[in-house]
Structure 1
Amino acid sequence: MSTDSPESGTTVHRRKKRKQYWKKANLFYCKHQILRIVLNDLGTEEVDPLEDEEWGLLWTDTTAPMSTILQLKPYQRCNHFPGMNEIARKDLLGRNINRMTKAFPKEYNFFPNTWTLPADYAELRAHMLATGNKKQTYIVKPDASSQGKGIYLTRSLDEIDQMGHIIVQKYISRPLLVDNLKFDLRIYVLVTSCSPLRIYLYREGLARFATEQYVAPTHSNMDKMYMHLTNYSINKNSENFVVDEDNKGLHGSKRSITSVLQLLQEQGHDSKKIWQDIADIIIKTMISIQPKLAHIYNTCFPSDHHANSVFELMGFDVLLAKTKGGTIKPWLLEVNHSPSMNIDTPFDRDIKYKLLTDTFTILSLKENEKRRSATTKNSGRLYEGKKTETKEAEHIDEKMKKLQTVISSEIKWCAGTDFDRIYLYEEDEKYKHLYVSVPTPETNASVARREKVMKQMEEREKKEREGKTVKKSKPPKPKEESTVVTVSPRRQKESPRMIHPTNSPKIVTHPTTDTTRYRLTDNVNPYESEVTVTKPIVAGFLPVLPKLKNPSTNDISPLLHIKTLTLSPRGSK
């Protein structure tokens, strides 16, 4: 930028002032006032996204739409990872933890036995009938609700809607009690990156108490929600709800976690061991979905050198229970990707104000923006001209240096907060064996569909052997001059054509010693090639070919998808 000096007539060069995006926040989808108070104290103002798009922070109370995530600019950050509902929804959390439990039963023994209905109804029914324990209590929850809505206890299968979208869990009937009251812990967790995974655990949190003295479930008290549920949204309506008058979190129906842990330490329990076990649960829960999170993130932000366009402040609900040996074992109940930031009491305000302040301290929006501005300005320099292996290696090295800069910055700023870094992938060998490809277990519905298809195929085989083939429409006459597969350049560039079941190709077989020759007609053009049979082909059940190889050139002509045939060049065995 240049201006003319009126006195000397000389040109004065002035440096253009850089915009400070971190000073603006988009809170259009946020209702919590405590967040506005914290950001205002940090020097960040709220802007209307319809009038000003140059904001640096997006905070929403619900999952951000994928369209919004994809439109984030390099200097903007959002408070929700796409795909985090894999543990934020009760049904998906149960499915992911159950999947990991089958692979690592000793590592993932912190989650109650869970069935997701309607898919797992048959398994639940078989379990309840096999155990025959009429004293076993189950807790039923809607699969995607919050704040204790729709939750009830039962011992009868008849009281469970087999077609409802619910989860059923074994009720933990031996919870740890304080003042003869059941309670759970709301643990705050900050995830700053999913690739690589970086997790920070907040030292303070909330202990939420039930408001009626606990008695083990019986037929007469299973409907007493103030006794069995610890949700604040439920118990705050109880006449027995107690507000801490000194606002220090030492008494009442909502207390600080540190006060509860100190009380347990005084009672002879190892509070440090309890806190370490809770951290272990958080790490393993995040690892259960890390591959999927990383895949979605890298798809949305392929050029994010710092891997921190998105962060997540989460709430893990943990219940402490007594084991038969007298020790205390933490159980994971659920995960909230948008923990409540309501400030009903001064005690609430103090904890959540400090929590949010420390969160933005670690995120370091101002410093992060400077790094990203430099990255955006210099992006692509390594790839100017022809790409070579050397330049690609330099690009990877540069990316790792920038990532290490971010990690060092987080560690530096974390030192002045109440957060503890509990997991960094590069430094933790203890959990690396959990990063394996664990297949998703089949549901009863998928098993039933597979068995039905196999049964239909067996029936068709039987009819074929008996000469009772299914009537089929006559295939179109193939072109006589087309005897082998020929692939033109124009055909290669075309996208795969879709052939509907009603327009399926027909196959004429001519058995040979090693291979089978098929003539494929797709109602437009005939193709002929030799293929190796890897699975029996049932007459009348027509698989369609994904690709055909030209016997002379091995060129691939894209057609349709099939998994039962492997194509081979003419003459190969």
Structure 2
Amino acid sequence: MVYIYKTLVSNQLLFILLLVSVLYFLLKLSSPNLTRSTTTLTPVILHDYNFGFERTCSDISNTSSDLIQQICHIEQSKLTPLHSRTVLVRDTSRIRYYAQRDLQGWQMFYENIGYKVVEPRFSLTPPDPCLYDVLLCMGLVLQDQSCVSPQDYPRLAPGQRVSQFYGMRQVLWRKDSFCRTMKSVFARIPKRVSTDFLFDCWVLPNDLEDLRGVMHGEPDGLWIAKPRSRGEGKGIMIVHNLAELYEYNLLGSVIQPYLDRVMLIEGRKFDLRTYVLVTSINPLRAYFYKEGLVRLASELYNKTGNSKTQFLTNTSVGKLVANINDIVWMYKDLIKYLRKMNFDGDLLFERVEEVIVKTLLAGEVGFHKLYQDTFPGYMCENCYQLLGVDVIIDEDLNPKVIEINGIPSMQLSHDLGVKPDPSKPYTATKFGLLRDTLNTLYQPNTRPHQLERMIDKLGIGIVPSTCEEQHQFCVTNREFAFLVDSQREFFSKGMYKRIYPTQNGDLYTDLLTHTHKTIMKTADDKNQLTTYKLHHLMTLIEIYNLQNH
């Protein structure tokens, strides 16, 4: 009897072992590695409800595991100041325009975290990198040359920061650059990738003949002409035909069709000034601030009118003829209004986040080419940039990206020289934005034990030291450092929402497949890192983070 019982138990154990082996084999076949193309990112359930490790790197001891020591070394190298916690200000504009507008806020919040802010006498010669821990780049004139010399970028220490991505004006910021980048990337995009979030555009005079044919086919159309590199609504005009382009000397402009079925608020046009913090351009890490500005035109909309204040929503234009409090709402005001009109405000902002991510991912192609030609092997790892992305909404709640501003106003009050009032929504938004930006960048908040657990559960190994056959993903040291930075920022982001990487990675797989192929066509190093290569892994990490925290 005992023999029969032992035999049954043994057979059951063998059956269970065989079943586990088969399941493991099938899992290995279906699990993608970092370079495999994936069209669908299937969420993996990774619940770990007893996950209670909240200790940061400041709490660990020398007896911690080698992996935890490595994680904390990466954090320390990125966050340790080298030059007396010095923030150096570089304003290349006339009469210190941007410093007068924005420096009060940046200085207040940098000093709150123990940095000193210094603005030396201006010189066209870029400052010695040994003079600063942080370089605040302001202004438009010769930005890429007079803030940091291109040859100095790769020489920066891991703990040094520059508040701009080299080449942002050449790829996404200038209106003509934005137009060319988007047209280039999306010209041969698969049809399943929607481009409805972009306006058609023509950069004159090069695209004049193409525009002539389009205008001829739409004699009743309205067109918006914008100077290539000016901001704050300066020089923008509404035109009806080609003759007006000649009449008003607009043959050096960027032309876009005017949005016909634009959504109105109480009869007035509006757009959204969104704030997007980019902490890595390759692979992409981007954060959307949950509060921003709803900018309303100062006059009622009339399509047949000719007043700028009916068409333009820039606050710099509107406040000349209206009280600023009447033409600026917060997002919460817009959501309340949409709810009253039976629209889904949450759905709108999900769509806004999606089109912003697509825009930034498309820009990666241009940055790769520029960096390959300028400093091969370096991808501006020391850089961050707070962007103002302007978005307009049509009657069906579909957002379109208007443009990207590389120096959004951080002015703490509506008017220069006016003492900021933290009780006012406008000032409170800027206070929160500045605080959460610096916390995201500098807060030492990596949870090494949580990260170690996640690495184990996702099956991540590091090449060549710990990558073994059983690992589902093998990452390089640079990719691992990106992962550590991502986790630290995740716990420090405040009112920022990470919009890439995201748990909804499926939305971007087709676009990333396209951009990766485009990058590889001209890449000198076919193994260079792209957002696409980490896309699947980072999607799983975001799913894990949101399930467990």
TM-score by length of 2: 0.63
Show CA shifts across 1:404-434 (max 9, x none).
21111111112xx110111128982431321
- Cα deviation for residue 365 of structure 1 reads 6.0
Which residue of structure 2 aligns with residue 61 of structure 1? 138
Q: Which residue of 1 aligns with 2:156?
A: 72
* 237, 249, 254: which one aligns with 2:320: 237
**Rg larger in 1 or in 2?**
1
1:233-272 per-position Cα deviation (integer Å, ceiling 9, x unaligned): 111111xx1243xxxxxxx211112211221122210111
Q: How does 1:468-479 map to 2 (within 5 A)?
A: none
Aligned residues of 1:69 and 1:300 also touching (Cα < 8 A): no
Counterpart of 2:449 in structure 1 is none
Q: For the structure 1 residues 175 and 191, does the alpha-carbon distance in structure 2 shift closer, same or farther, using more than 3 Å as the test?
A: same
Kept in 1, the 8 Å contact 2:289–2:496? The answer is yes
Q: Which residue of 2 aligns with 1:225?
A: 308
Q: 1:159 aligns with which of 244, 249, 253?
A: 244
Aligned with residue 288 of structure 1, among 362, 365, 385: 362
1:319-365 per-residue CA deviation (whole Å, 9 max, x = no partner) reads 1111xxxx211111111011112233344322112101101111116
Q: Which residue of 1 aligns with 2:86?
A: 24
SS at match of 1:192: strand
Under a length normalisation based on structure 1, what TM-score does the superposition of the two structures give?
0.61
Match of 1:41 among 89, 112, 115: 112
What's 1:349 paired with? Answer: 427
The SS at the match of 2:105 is helix
CA distance 1:153–1:163, change in 2 (3 Å): closer
Aligned to 2:547: none
Contact 1:97 1:108 in 2 (8 A): no
CA 1:408–1:149: 2 relative to 1, 3 Å: same
- Give the Cα–Cα distance (whole angstroms) in 2 for the partners of residues 361 and 439 of structure 1: 35
Aligned identity (percent) is 26
Structure 1 segment 140-151 matched on structure 2, within 5 A: 140-151=225-236
Identify if the C-alpha distance between structure 1 residues 308 and 360 changes in structure 2 by more than 3 Å, giving closer, same or farther: farther
Matched letter for residue 331 of structure 1: K
2:210 maps to 1:123: yes
Q: CA RMSD in A?
A: 3.1
Query: Deviations 1:282-337 (Å, cap 9, x if unpaired)?
Result: 111011111332454577776779x7410111011111111xxxx21111111101
Which residue, 262, 278, 291 being the options, matches 2:352?
278
CA distance in 2, matches of 1:303, 1:125: 43
How many Å separate the matches in 2 of 1:182 and 1:191? 28
Deviation of residue 277 (structure 1)? Answer: 0.8
Structure 2 CA distance for partners of 1:117 and 1:301, relative to 1, 3 Å: closer
Query: Aligned partners of 1:171, 1:137: CA distance in 2, in Å?
Result: 5
Contact map agreement 1:265 1:271 (CA 8 A) in 2: yes
CA contact (8 A) 1:81 1:312 kept: yes
Secondary structure of the structure 1 residue equivalent to 2:272:
strand
Q: How many aligned residue pairs are there?
A: 381
Q: 1:168 to 1:303 in 2, by over 3 A?
A: closer
Question: 1:210, CA displacement in angstroms?
Answer: 0.8
Please give the alpha-carbon distance, in whole angstroms, between the structure 2 residues aligned to 1:70 and 1:397.
19
Distance 1:144 1:393 in 2: 48
CA–CA separation in structure 2 for the residues paired with 1:271 and 1:338: 27
Is this contact kept in 1: 2:163–2:384, CA < 8 A? yes
What aligned pairs does 1:526-565 form with structure 2 within 5 A after superposition? Answer: none
Amino acid at match of 2:108: I
Structure with more strand by fraction: 1
Q: What SS does the aligned partner of 2:491 have?
A: helix
Aligned to 1:318: 391
Q: Deviation digits for residues 205-225 of structure 1, max 9, x if unmatched? A: 001111111112x2xx22x00
Offset, 1:398 = 3.1
SS in 2 for 1:431: helix
Counterpart residue number, 1:503? none
Please state which structure has a larger fraction of its residues in helix.
2
Contact kept? 1:99, 1:439, Cα under 8 Å: no
Q: Deviations over 1:164-192 (max 9, x none)?
A: 22111111132211121111110000111
Q: Report the residue type matching 2:240 in the other structure.
A: R
Within-5 A mapping of 1:171-320: 171-216=258-303, 218=304, 221-222=305-306, 224-238=307-321, 241-244=322-325, 252-297=326-371, 308-320=381-393
The whole-number CA distance in structure 2 between the counterparts of 1:335 and 1:299 is: 24
Q: Give, as a single letter, the amino acid of the residue that structure 2 aligns with 1:143.
A: R
Structure 1, unaligned runs of 5 or more: 1-17, 245-251, 369-388, 441-573
Q: Distance between the aligned counterparts of 1:360 and 1:172, measured in 2?
A: 36
Distance 1:260 1:125, change over 3 A: same
Q: Which residue of 1 aligns with 2:484?
A: 405
Q: Which runs of 5+ in 2 are unaligned?
A: 1-79, 92-97, 121-126, 415-420, 447-462, 469-473, 520-549
State whether residues 138 and 155 of structure 1, in contact with CA within 8 Å, keep that contact through their aligned partners in structure 2.
Answer: yes
Relative to structure 1, is the Cα distance of residues 22 and 291 closer, same or farther in structure 2, using a 3 angstrom cutoff? farther
Q: Is the 8 A contact 1:213 1:227 kept in 2?
A: yes
Q: Does 1:100 align with 2:188?
A: no
